[in-house]
Structure 1
Amino acid sequence: MPADYIIIGAGTSGLVLANRLSANPNTTVVVIEPGPDDRNNPNVTDPLNRGRNANTSIDWSYKSVPQSQLNNRTVEFTAGKLVGGTSMINGLMYIRTAVPEIDGWEYLGATGWNWDNLWPYHKDIERFTDPTPDQLKAGAGANPEYHGRSGEVAVSYPPQLLTGSFYSTLAATWECLGVPICQDANGGKVEGFTVRPMMIDRESSIRASAAKAFYYPIAERSNLHLIRGTALSLLWSDDFEGKKQVSTGVRYLDSEGNPRSIALDLSGEVIIAAGALATPTILEASGVGSQAHLTKLGIDVRVDLPGVGENLQDQPDLTLSYIPKTPTPGALTPYAAFITARDIFGDRTDDIAESTKANLPTWAETVASASGHVSKDAIESIFRHQHDLIFRKKVAIGEITLTSSEVIASEYWSLLPFSRGSIHLNHDIQPFVAISRLTQKFWATGPAADLVTGKEEPKDNEMPSNATDDQWASYVKKNMVPNCHVLGTAAMMSRELGGVVDEELRVYGTGNVRVVDASVIPLQVTGHLVSTIYAIAARAADIILGVKTVPA
């Protein structure tokens, strides 16, 4: 029997859609997923084991080509290869992005996608548990207006939250450095030092994944079918005569490697939810992408869309670690400071803003030349919007985390890098070095300095407190890793800017193919990517079902 909906990928967004679209028992929903159902894996379910899943059988471990700006190192991107996708192996943190970033999607051509229209979905999918009295004393905060109480995704402060004076020591140090306290960062303003809620069911202390929230409870629906297989490409109708391309199904390999196909109902839709690193390859294999690129590969071009696979963005990541006076094994310390350009550049901010603006045309030309598919003018227009977010809207551009166990570690990353693709990291060395310096300065400032006895990584002889810009740049190139918050490769933007999907998440030039995953997000986001993906998927389901999506 033909399917009404074929969903490629049973990850974070795919399972939200499967849940919502199969709620009608007269609708047949098929989900194609190559990974296993690994719901009983303790490294998945136990939040304290969340760091044990990289480079295992449930991690795609995507490898890049050698990166010229990272000493020709090959870097690796973690992504969940199981039912539930990356929501099963991520760091569990749950902070939404900033209001100006979401509002900016409309500027880039995604009509109707703004904070006010996405906000109800943020709250609808959340099942928030208020912090305990001890957690409140340890810095946890909750503004009742910011949270949903009856959604599917459990969000709480973890039962293993380290209580005592650790939080107040960190908070006092950040205040000494001019970074304010943010009691609850989930209302669209994230700047400042905060305790991050996590996707944990506090009663059971178990990970709250997309699978647990949206699939396990409805897995037995007779109209919902999960197929273990790997999607290869879309099937197309040959009767289009210059009209929009219409998919008739999906070609895939089953779990034993045999070629199969699934037919789509005449009024049905294909929804690609394979993630920012896999979705473009499925589109290209289906003849949707840059005509020049597809022709070289010998693929018949169905839709010439130069933006497919372009605009890839991640966040460069480093960790400085210190030896604690008092180790705290078994505790969770979800503390982070979201810092602005002013926080890291201080009195130099206006000069940095001016020099950055002057460099935008050159950076855009570099990206356009490397791409060969998207115009320099389009990229420069996006960069100018990004510059406005950073220097005029003053959104956070760095996240510095603070964790304590056998060592005290500060992992940090740039939130809004100008880099695109995989080889242009030189655009973002200056702010990343500034974040590095601020992180190092934090642990040399009282009262936080009293928590540690010395550096664990890097050692003083490798990176002294007065290290030069060249020394920091060398260290970054040697040690930087991806943050695995990859997005933008099938962006929801105007076609002129290199967009791939329209405001209804439909692939340009097609009549019944949509993309719903991180690849549609046009610019990097503050906070944690998963929160934005959940809200997008929930709103996408309403769009597909024809439900009014603008709040009354």
Structure 2
Amino acid sequence: MHGPQASCTSGLLVANRLSANPNTRVVLIEPGSDDRNNPNVTDPLNRDENANSPIDWSYESTPQSRLNDRSVEFTAGKIVGGSSMINGMMYIRTAVPEVDGWERLGAKGWNWDTLWPFYKGIERFVDPTPEQAEAGAGVNPEYHGRSGEIAVGYPSQLLTGNLSPTLAATWEILGVSVCQDANGGKVEGYTVRPMMVDRESGLRASAATAFYYPISDRPNLKLMRGTALHLLWIEHAREAGSQCIMLNESGEVIVAAGALVTPTILEASGVGNPSLLTKLGIKARVELPGVGENFQDQPDLTLSYCPKTATPGVFTPYAAFVTAKDVFGDKTEDIAAATEANLRTWAETVAATSNHVGPDAIESIFRLQHDLIFKKKVAIGEITMTPSKAIASEYWSLLPFSRGSVHLHSKTANGTYKVDIDPRFFQIDYDEQSFIALCRLTEKFLATDPAAKQVTGRIDPKADQIPTDATDEQWKSFVKSATVPNCHVLGTAAMMSRELGGVVDENLRVYGTENVRVVDASVIPLQVTGHLVSTIYAVAARAADLILGTRSESAEQ
């Protein structure tokens, strides 16, 4: 028996794979509704209607000292299928060196070569039409799977014509070359991003449509409406009570509640930092101070402009993935040296706010991250272009050094817990410095021909906030007032060595337990280039393979 597990994006994929064996029973626990006919979910063009709706958890952060003490909001899908039902549907995988870095942090056997078959295996890619190809939609056939469950391709609503070639030509002038297909592990450059949309039906492709709806009638698969609050450590079934799910001796609990919730389930179950758990009156079962730490998200900001020609009702998935050299130019080597010299200081800063994860561990992670940025030259920013009634150029940092946390805070009257979500945006000064440089590059792009001919003026920020010759201080003021989360949260139950603050081992099993695993974004130890959901699917597919493999080994023994 496998179960219970939360039914977020990754949980449905794992449940699909495990329940394929009729002798394996799987129970899914999901508090959200089965809202499969909601047009704001199914119609990709309505994707912006879901934030702050009944199917969004709308998690609030603690006030952020580097964002004018604002609380910021994290969207997350409160629905069967999780955030895959409300996300932007873009599908770009991460870069080769980033996945290889997981193994360097202690996730034995996790590297690009081992993850690659799962990236391809879950994908059902459809080639662009001739008109889409002419408009910039590219494909390298070797990079894509054709028989998986997730529909990936270029939607019929893709804007065709000469806009993408215009953007590509502008980026070329700024030294950013075209990446025809960014899904082969080299992401850097300008690209037209494929999306998780079924081109034939025109509908969103999600974890629910791919992995749950087609097999929801399996007799050995049950979806239970409810909330998984914590695990009980018991020896006899009679102690469980009517509100619990009991497992047989070979059963497992697979926590797949997402990077914001999984750590709180573990802490409520006695897994985490003993000093924190004791204050909350929770008996410490497994000492793992990394639970809820290593929180990483990407600061996000948007500049908007008046378009020369409005283009509503179409998709414009245009983006440039820019490197440190693209962002910093001739200053790159000096910034690389200064950054390296500060890694120890930054590690001490992060350690001072962490739950007993020491500076030595954090410094070793930072050195790997520095290597990715300045030696492996992976992208550090994504800059998008979305022409509609206005031209929105949204951009975010991909590899910030700041580290936040998510922890239980206090017990409520009904027995649940309040939670502190603290992303600590711009905790490290470099993150603010690089973000402002990214802002300037975005502004420069839209002031450079031929892209400049697509706009007639800037809408936001206003000229009195950010004039043409704006100072760093003016940019800092705007950044503090307008930055929001990108909602690509990961790392809070990291798959790393225990010495580095890891929470799960290379089999996704929680250290110190025999039958508890985590399979969601919280296990990914470092931020990823591209779009998080593509890597979550691949991790979940490989996790299911590992779980099935370890079960087979146990049966043979």
> Is this a same-fold pair by TM over 0.5?
yes
User: Which position in structure 2 is the counterpart of 1:458?
Assistant: 461
1:451-490 aligned at under 5 Å gives the runs: 451-490=454-493
Instruction: Kindly state the Cα deviation for residue 8 of structure 1 after the two structures are TM-superposed.
Output: 2.5
Q: Give me the whole-angstrom Cα distance separating, in 1, the residues matched to 2:213 and 2:285.
A: 37
**Are residues 82 and 425 of structure 1, via their aligned partners in 2, closer, same or farther at CA, if it must alter by over 3 Å?**
same
* Aligned position for 1:206: 203
The superposition leaves residues 408-438 of structure 1 with CA deviations (integer Å, 9 ceiling, x where unpaired) of 1110000000010022514210100000000
Instruction: Report the AA paired with residue 107 of structure 2.
Output: A
Distance 1:190 1:129 in 2: 20
Q: 1:28 to 1:377 in 2, by over 3 A?
A: same
Q: Does 1:55 align with 2:56?
A: no
Deviations 1:102-137 (A, max 9, x none): 000000000000000000000000000000000000
1:446 aligns with 2:473: no
Residues in 1 aligned to 2:515 and 2:426: alpha-carbon distance in whole angstroms:
37
Q: For 1:50-449, what aligned pairs fall within 5 Å after superposition? A: 50-238=47-235, 260-421=243-404, 422-427=423-428, 428-449=431-452
Local SS of the residue matching 1:211: helix
In the other structure, the counterpart of 2:555 is none
Q: Match for 2:375: what amino acid?
A: R
Q: Is the Cα contact below 8 Å between 2:67 and 2:425 reproduced in 1?
A: no
Is the CA contact (8 Å cut-off) linking 1:181 and 1:194 kept in structure 2? yes
Q: Which amino acid aligns with 2:111?
A: N
The percentage of counterpart residues that share the same residue type is 73
The AA in structure 2 aligned to 1:399 is E
Q: How far apart, in 2, do the equivalents of 1:402 and 1:357 lie?
A: 32
Give the aligned residue type for 1:72.
Answer: D
> AA paired with 2:538?
A
For structure 2, list consecutive stretches of 5 or more residues without a partner in the other structure: 405-422, 553-557
Q: Which amino acid aligns with 2:214?
A: P
8 Å Cα contact 1:289-1:301 kept in structure 2: yes
Residue range with higher mean Cα deviation, 365-374 or 134-143? 365-374
Q: CA deviation at 1:237?
A: 3.2
* Offset at residue 238 of structure 1 (A): 4.9
Partner residue of 2:516 out of 513, 518, 525: 513
- Cα separation, 1, equivalents of 2:246 and 2:64: 41
Matches of 2:375 and 2:256 in 1, distance apart? 34
Q: Distance in 2 between matches of 1:52 and 1:358?
A: 45
Mapped partners of 1:335, 1:464: distance in 2? 26
State the shift of 1:461 in Å: 1.8
* Gap regions ≥5 residues in structure 1: 240-247, 253-258
The residue number in structure 2 matching 1:244 is none
Other-structure match for 1:243: none
CA deviations 1:60-117 (Å, max 9, x no partner) are 1010011111000000000001100000000000000000000000000000000000
| 8 Å CA contact 2:293, 2:355 repeated in 1 | no
- The equivalent residue for 2:526 is 523
Output the CA distance in 2 between the equivalents of 1:313 and 1:7.
Answer: 27
1:377-412 C-alpha deviation (Å, 9 max, x unpaired) = 101110110000000000000000001100011100
Decide whether the 8 Å contact of 2:290 with 2:355 is kept in 1: no
What CA RMSD, in Å, does the superposition of the two structures yield over aligned residues? 1.5
Question: Which secondary structure state, in structure 2, belongs to the residue aligned with residue 267 of structure 1?
Answer: coil
Q: How many residues align?
A: 532
Whole-Å Cα distance in 2 between the matches of residues 347 and 411 of structure 1? 25
Deviation larger for 521-530 or 8-17? 8-17
Q: 1:204-224: CA deviations, max 9, x gaps?
A: 000000000000000000000
Shift of 1:548: 12
Is the CA contact (8 Å cut-off) linking 1:403 and 1:410 kept in structure 2?
yes
Residue in 1 that maps onto 2:37: 40
Superposed CA deviations along residues 329-363 of structure 1, whole A, max 9, x for unmatched, are 11110000000000010110000001111111111
Moved over 6 A (4+): 248-252
Match of 2:11 in 1: 14
One-letter identity of the residue aligned with 1:425 = F
User: Which residue of structure 1 aligns with residue 500 of structure 2?
Assistant: 497
